[in-house]
Amino acid sequence: MYNPFSLEGKTILVTGASSGIGRAIAIECSKMGARVILTARNKERLEETLLMLDNEGELYVADLSNLDDRNTLLIHLSHIDGVVHSAGITDPVPFQFITKERLDTIFDINYFSPVFLTKELLKKKILRNNSSIVFVSSIAGLLCSSVGGSAYSATKSAINGMVKGIALDLANKQIRVNTVCPGMIDTGIFDNSGITQEQLVEDSKKYPLKRYGKPEEVAHSVVYLLSEASSWVTGTNLVIDGGYTLL
């Protein structure tokens, strides 16, 4: 059956696949026919994701901010047709309390890890020509921010800017490079952030569509960017925010 969104025959690496958006991306890619390779630090939660897949999959435990773990992961990979960088953290802190250490930690996982993992995937020719690279970024840093969100926004902003240059550098290989930029998505990412449930409910009312997004709604846009349906799309930051940044 004709389906330009199909991922049949493709192998996709998904980071941050042990929960939230990364898990939903892995599940939706699998539903669309991809063989999915999962990675994150928590083995148990990765195994849960693996059980949720429709198709073949495998998992590798790795702390992506650790160079040795990244290198070990690379040893296990042969050829892939796409990578989705979803691993990430928030660390809400008022600007006056930012330290170099805190910035290093958040930049390590949100920026340096996906950037250098991508570089190694290319250098080792694991990413095939015609492949697609997707970074899960954010509207934070692109179009807005939040109180205490300056460091997080900086990491995402750095990714949003960098994809444009990477897209140009890889265009001769027909490798496409894009981000998805979600607004608030209902995952556990804010569980230990000090933001209360009441604050989150109140905040969700500010969205024109009157709710936060769901992980699958981000996953569907990632499927689009990985598939032939987006074959002429590169260097784009795709906003998925229920209209939040229109106001």
Ligand X SMILES: NC(=O)c1ccc[n+]([C@@H]2O[C@H](COP(=O)([O-])OP(=O)(O)OC[C@H]3O[C@@H](n4cnc5c(N)ncnc54)[C@H](OP(=O)(O)O)[C@@H]3O)[C@@H](O)[C@H]2O)c1
By CB under 6 A, is residue 18 in contact with ligand X?
yes
Our CB check for ligand X shows the closer of 188 and 194 to be 188
How far apart (Å, rounded) are the C-alpha atoms in residues 102 and 100?
Answer: 6
How many angstroms separate the Cα of 28 from the Cα of each of 32, 216, 217?
6, 7, 10
By CB under 6 A, is residue 160 in contact with ligand X?
no
How far apart (Å, rounded) are the C-alpha atoms in residues 231 and 186?
Answer: 29
Of positions 182, 225, 230, 237, contacts ligand X by CB under 6 A = 182
Q: Tokens 């970024």 appear where?
A: 137
In the complex, minimum distance from the CB of residue 176 to ligand X, in angstroms, rounded to a whole number: 20
Of positions 10, 11, 19, 57, contacts ligand X by CB under 6 A = 19
By CB under 6 A, is residue 149 in contact with ligand X?
no
Our CB check for ligand X shows the closer of 153 and 230 to be 153
User: Binding segment for ligand X among 62-70, 75-83, 117-125, 161-169 (CB under 6 A)?
Assistant: 62-70
Our CB check for ligand X shows the closer of 83 and 136 to be 136
Q: Which residues of 94-126 are buried (b: 16+ CB within 10 A; e: fewer)?
A: eeeebeeeebeebbbbbbbbbbebbebbbeeeb
Contact assessment for residue 247 and residue 208, using Cβ atoms and an 8 Å cutoff: yes
Q: Tokens 């460091």 appear where?
A: 151
By CB under 6 A, is residue 179 in contact with ligand X?
no
In the complex, minimum distance from the CB of residue 217 to ligand X, in angstroms, rounded to a whole number: 11
3-state secondary structure of 65: coil
Six-digit token string for 54: 């429709």
Our CB check for ligand X shows the closer of 73 and 167 to be 73
- Catalytic residue numbers read 152
- Binding-site ranges for ligand X (CB under 6 A): 16, 18-22, 40-42, 45, 63-65, 86-89, 109, 136, 138, 182, 184-185, 187-189
